[in-house]
Protein backbone atom coordinates (compact mmCIF):
# COMPACT_ATOMS: atom_id res chain seq x y z
CA UNK A 1 0.00 0.00 0.00
CA UNK A 2 1.38 3.39 -0.93
CA UNK A 3 0.04 6.93 -0.53
CA UNK A 4 0.23 9.00 -3.70
CA UNK A 5 -1.19 12.38 -2.74
CA UNK A 6 -1.45 14.03 0.62
CA UNK A 7 -3.32 17.00 1.97
CA UNK A 8 -3.18 18.85 5.27
CA UNK A 9 -6.24 18.58 7.50
CA UNK A 10 -6.44 19.88 11.06
CA UNK A 11 -2.68 20.04 11.48
CA UNK A 12 -1.98 16.44 10.50
CA UNK A 13 -0.91 14.85 7.26
CA UNK A 14 -3.72 12.86 5.68
CA UNK A 15 -3.48 10.62 2.62
CA UNK A 16 -6.07 11.52 -0.04
CA UNK A 17 -5.29 8.60 -2.36
CA UNK A 18 -3.94 5.12 -1.72
CA UNK A 19 -3.02 2.37 -4.15
CA UNK A 20 -3.75 -1.11 -2.79
CA UNK A 21 -2.52 -4.35 -4.36
CA UNK A 22 -3.14 -7.80 -2.95
CA UNK A 23 -0.05 -9.91 -2.32
CA UNK A 24 0.89 -11.95 -5.37
CA UNK A 25 -1.00 -9.77 -7.87
CA UNK A 26 0.55 -7.77 -10.66
CA UNK A 27 0.17 -4.09 -11.49
CA UNK A 28 -2.71 -4.78 -13.90
CA UNK A 29 -5.25 -5.21 -11.11
CA UNK A 30 -5.23 -2.42 -8.52
CA UNK A 31 -7.66 -0.86 -6.05
CA UNK A 32 -7.41 2.88 -5.53
CA UNK A 33 -8.81 4.23 -2.25
CA UNK A 34 -9.97 7.84 -2.64
CA UNK A 35 -10.59 9.55 0.69
CA UNK A 36 -13.12 12.38 1.08
CA UNK A 37 -14.94 11.32 -2.12
CA UNK A 38 -18.32 9.76 -2.91
CA UNK A 39 -20.55 8.58 -5.78
CA UNK A 40 -20.14 11.88 -7.64
CA UNK A 41 -16.51 11.22 -8.47
CA UNK A 42 -16.75 7.43 -8.31
CA UNK A 43 -19.35 6.96 -11.02
CA UNK A 44 -17.98 9.72 -13.27
CA UNK A 45 -14.46 8.35 -13.06
CA UNK A 46 -15.64 4.77 -13.60
CA UNK A 47 -17.44 5.87 -16.77
CA UNK A 48 -14.39 7.69 -18.14
CA UNK A 49 -12.07 4.76 -17.38
CA UNK A 50 -14.39 2.17 -18.93
CA UNK A 51 -14.24 4.03 -22.27
CA UNK A 52 -10.66 2.75 -22.58
CA UNK A 53 -10.70 -0.53 -24.58
CA UNK A 54 -7.66 -1.81 -22.65
CA UNK A 55 -9.66 -1.80 -19.40
CA UNK A 56 -11.26 -5.15 -18.66
CA UNK A 57 -13.01 -4.11 -15.45
CA UNK A 58 -13.59 -0.91 -13.52
CA UNK A 59 -15.96 -0.57 -10.60
CA UNK A 60 -16.23 1.28 -7.34
CA UNK A 61 -17.83 0.88 -3.95
CA UNK A 62 -18.38 3.17 -1.02
CA UNK A 63 -17.04 1.64 2.15
CA UNK A 64 -19.91 2.76 4.41
CA UNK A 65 -22.50 5.57 4.28
CA UNK A 66 -20.88 7.30 7.25
CA UNK A 67 -17.40 7.21 5.67
CA UNK A 68 -16.52 9.48 2.81
CA UNK A 69 -14.20 7.28 0.79
CA UNK A 70 -14.51 5.05 -2.23
CA UNK A 71 -12.64 1.99 -3.47
CA UNK A 72 -12.08 2.10 -7.23
CA UNK A 73 -10.89 -1.17 -8.75
CA UNK A 74 -9.27 -1.30 -12.18
CA UNK A 75 -8.21 -4.41 -14.09
CA UNK A 76 -6.51 -4.06 -17.48
CA UNK A 77 -5.75 -6.34 -20.40
CA UNK A 78 -2.27 -6.96 -21.72
CA UNK A 79 0.74 -5.04 -20.52
CA UNK A 80 -1.01 -1.81 -19.51
CA UNK A 81 -0.58 -1.07 -15.78
CA UNK A 82 -3.81 -0.05 -14.01
CA UNK A 83 -2.41 3.31 -12.95
CA UNK A 84 -2.31 4.54 -16.58
CA UNK A 85 -6.07 4.36 -17.30
CA UNK A 86 -6.65 5.82 -13.82
CA UNK A 87 -4.51 8.86 -14.65
CA UNK A 88 -6.01 9.16 -18.14
CA UNK A 89 -9.54 8.93 -16.71
CA UNK A 90 -8.79 11.70 -14.22
CA UNK A 91 -7.38 13.93 -16.98
CA UNK A 92 -10.34 13.28 -19.30
CA UNK A 93 -12.81 13.97 -16.50
CA UNK A 94 -10.96 17.19 -15.68
CA UNK A 95 -11.20 18.23 -19.36
CA UNK A 96 -14.95 17.52 -19.46
CA UNK A 97 -15.50 19.51 -16.25
CA UNK A 98 -13.44 22.41 -17.61
CA UNK A 99 -15.48 22.40 -20.84
CA UNK A 100 -18.76 22.47 -18.90
CA UNK A 101 -17.47 25.29 -16.69
CA UNK A 102 -16.33 27.32 -19.73
CA UNK A 103 -19.73 26.92 -21.42
CA UNK A 104 -21.54 27.82 -18.21
CA UNK A 105 -19.47 30.97 -17.67
CA UNK A 106 -19.92 31.99 -21.32
CA UNK A 107 -23.69 31.58 -20.98
CA UNK A 108 -23.76 33.71 -17.83
CA UNK A 109 -21.75 36.43 -19.57
CA UNK A 110 -24.06 36.31 -22.60
CA UNK A 111 -27.13 36.56 -20.35
CA UNK A 112 -25.70 39.53 -18.44
CA UNK A 113 -24.74 41.27 -21.70
CA UNK A 114 -28.24 40.77 -23.11
CA UNK A 115 -29.82 42.01 -19.89
CA UNK A 116 -27.57 45.09 -19.87
CA UNK A 117 -28.37 45.90 -23.51
CA UNK A 118 -32.13 45.60 -22.81
CA UNK A 119 -31.78 47.97 -19.84
CA UNK A 120 -29.87 50.51 -21.97
CA UNK A 121 -32.50 50.44 -24.72
CA UNK A 122 -35.37 51.22 -22.31
CA UNK A 123 -33.87 54.58 -21.28
Give the CATH number of domain 17-121; options: 3.30.1360.10, 3.30.360.10, 3.40.50.2300, 3.40.50.12780: 3.30.1360.10
Q: Is 33 helix (H, G, I), strand (E, B) or coil?
A: strand
Q: How far is CA 74 from CA 53, 66, 83, 102, 118, in A?
A: 13, 24, 8, 30, 53
Q: Where are the alpha helices (DSSP H) in the chain?
A: 39-50, 83-121
Q: Which residue has the higher pLDDT, 104 or 5?
A: 104
9-42 pLDDT per residue, tens = 455 566 899 998 877 778 999 999 999 999 999 9
73-94 pLDDT per residue, tens = 999 998 899 999 999 999 999 9
Are the C-beta atoms of 19 and 2 separated by less than 8 Å?
Answer: yes
What are the backbone angles phi and psi of residue 10, rounded to the nearest 5°?
55, 45
Amino acid sequence: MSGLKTSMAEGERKTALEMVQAAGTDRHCVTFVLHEEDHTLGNSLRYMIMKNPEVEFCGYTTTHPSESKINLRIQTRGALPAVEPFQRGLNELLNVCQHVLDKFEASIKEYKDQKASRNESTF
